[in-house]
A and B are shown apart, each in its own frame.
Chain A
Amino acid sequence: MPKLGFDMAEGTLVRWVAQEGEQIAKGAVLAEIETDKATVEVESAYEGVIARHLVHEGDIVPVNTPIAVVGAPGEEIDFQALLGGNGEKREPSEEEGAAVAAETVVPSKKEQAAVQTEMDTQLPGGLIASPLARRIAQEEGVDLKQVPGSGPAGRITKKDVQSYLESPPAAIGVPVGVVEAPEKAVAPPVAYAPEALPPADQVVQLNRLRAAIGRRMTEVKQQVPHFYVTYEYDMAALMALRSQVNALLPEEEKTSVNDYIVKATALTLREFPNLNASFKGSEIVQHGQVNIGVAVAVEGGLLTVVCHDTDRKPLRLISREVRTMAARAREGKVRSDDIEGSTFSVSNLGMFNVEHFIAIINPPEAAILAVGAVQEVPVVKGDQIVPGMRMKGTISVDHRVSDGAEAARFMRALQRYLEEPLRLLV
């Protein structure tokens, strides 16, 4: 079990990609493991045949524990001698782990490098400060984390600590004991000071999630021919229905606009199996289940949590599931089930009042729906301009799987559910 983060103590073996008896090349994906941040592929450090898996799928395994034995083709392996005991799947003790480590799977160089980088940025104390700045900070009781660094790569120097000591930001203009609620948000003081140096460039090491997003999105954008179809929906009825529904629900169970969109998408997909699909070389797999992935912004990246069988679940259950999984994702406690198996994704930036955007397909899905905010806009009704509630959605589709007309029909079909939202509840 590779150690993929400085604080990683154990990992879950989510799935064996290479089965017992299979040939495996060095660098090929052996298994997927899940840390508390993400699901990661483990590459084989050796070429050969998978002689035995040492842990079951779903097992939680301490780091550095052997997870598999790779042998030469036809090699007789004395598991008794190699692993001790009966050689069954189990969790070996640490000593045994060390003894067989050389023969078993170790993290790839890339993963080790990632771990190294992560550790480096943690030392010492996770910030860059000159020895002198550290000493002054210690003597003066200054928390260096509060001090902006002006040196190369943001290094905190003596000057920075001294200017912080002269005017710590918190101390400006707050008389002790007098706290007045400001009438409105006060604009921050203008930071422009011509005599001061502009802040130096910051170098931020990619965390695993960021790196994985970058890798996958680059692959998808390069390999999947996207096309996009945008549609506008009248959301007045849905907003009214939502108000009525939410009036019946306790605060913590109130439904979001997105819950309705997810449900509507799932029901529409039932009619469009070709968009609930994956492209597999010479064939298209149209999935039996409709599992909607919902993009969730987390610190340093995003994850897609998956509501399984979305089309068959009541709205309230969808709402609860997505809310629970999103919370877990934001806390970095996402479970493998939470992020596995989606067949179509919905990405919603409405809460940021975004009018419209386009999303990159989440592989191996064939399409993704990007939705903006519900906005009050003037609409033409007959001869009149009246206030209306409108929302724009854009579907991104894998052109190897589908075409513009089908996507347009999907967007129009979705309209029925969004504009006659009672259909979502019956």
Chain B
Amino acid sequence: MARITMREAISQALWEEMEVDQNVFILGEEVGVWGGTYAVTKGFYDHFGPERVRDTPIAEAVIVGAAIGAALTGLRPVAELMTINFAYSAMEHIVNEAAKLHYMFGGQMVLPLVIRAVGGGGRQLGATHSQTPDAIFAHFPGLKVVAPGTPEDAKGLLKESIRSNDPVLFIEHATLYQLRGDVPDSDYTVPIGKSKIQRPGRDATIVTYSKMLEISLKAADQLVQEGIEVEVVDLRSLRPLDMEPVIESFKKTNRAVIVEEGWRSYGVGSEVAVRIYEEAFDYVDAPIQRVAQKEVPLPYNRTLEQLALPQVEDVIKAVKEIL
């Protein structure tokens, strides 16, 4: 076990997969000579060379379009989008081509494509650079959407994503790169579409993922001092969505709070809540709560930005609401 940052974990996953498979290559804005906007690919250009570490124009449609083409020819591209907010410029390629080609051509080709995209708010980047549109992408069948909340999961899930023959949107949270955690030394992967209980408890179930896992675990730490033990389930991937641990936990606690960073309406919370009602109605003992971002374009002002984003106190309040 090594205690490393999320940045190192993602970097290691890329490095290791590039080492073992010549078909894996990366492309994106500033990923090469500069080493990545978030320094994930530092040193890659020198080690793997310009053929496999490609700087691209500032044109997301080109990055994703080229990656799709490469994947169709049998390569395993890992495209980096500097922020997920720029994915809108490549929407056609992501949701109409990557998500559908395998299906529309009767399975004649596979798309072993990974799009790494940096999402989330909290760094004062303004309304257009701070979004959490995870649910939008999770809406499309044909696309896998992965969003890890720990270094261990980030490394294992990224390796699994690169090895997967399906197009994967791999969402990294901008404020999690410094998060440290234990990571196995072995060559391991984490299966996509498996939720995980990150903290056991009996009084209520918090369902969350990505950055909000960190927030939820902090809330759990505070709640336990008041004798309230919450179970925290980490979805880890939004599509496929693994509800089994959620339902199992809910049948035990009979209460749930869903914590997501994106806006509340039409969000992950809505989906998870309805699935609970569908699959465990007779175990519902209190209305399911949602904690999510205030429904405004995220403010630039630091105080307002923090007010709009879900905080530890919001989670605690929501839990207490239903106990």
Contact = CB atoms under 8 A, between A and B. Distances in A.
B226 interface: no
A151 B286 contact: yes
Contact of B283 (A131, A151, A155, A159): A131
Nearest to B277: A131
Interface residues on A, range: 10 to 19
B281 A130 contact: no
The main secondary structure of chain B at its interface with chain A is loop
Interface string B278-299: 0001111110000000000000
A131 B286 contact: no
Contacts, number: 25
Contact of B286 (A130, A134, A135): A130
Contacts of A159: 285
Contacts of B281: 131
Contact of B282 (A131, A151, A155, A157): A131
Contacts of A131: 281-285
Interface string A107-141: 00000000000000000000000111111000000
A201 B311 CA distance: 29
Contacts of B286: 130, 151, 155, 157
Nearest to B321: A152
A53 interface: no
B5 interface: no
Name, among B283, B284, B285, B286, the residue most crowded by chain A CB atoms within 10 Å (CB to CB).
B285
Interface in B252-301: 254, 281-286
Contacts of A155: 286
Contacts of B284: 130-132
Nearest to A139: B282
A208 interface: no
B167 to A, nearest CB: 39
B80 to A, nearest CB: 46
Interface in A380-419: none
A157 B282 CA distance: 12
A309 B285 CA distance: 60
A308 interface: no
A131 B278 CA distance: 12
Interface of B: 254, 281-286
Interface of A: 130-135, 151, 155, 157-159
Pairs A-B, 6 closest by C-beta atoms: A132-B285, A135-B282, A130-B285, A131-B284, A158-B285, A157-B285
13 contacts: A130-B286, A131-B284, A132-B254, A132-B283, A132-B285, A134-B282, A135-B282, A135-B283, A151-B286, A155-B286, A158-B254, A158-B285, A159-B285
Given A131-B282, A132-B254, A157-B286, 8 more contacts: A130-B285, A130-B286, A131-B281, A132-B283, A134-B282, A155-B286, A157-B285, A158-B285
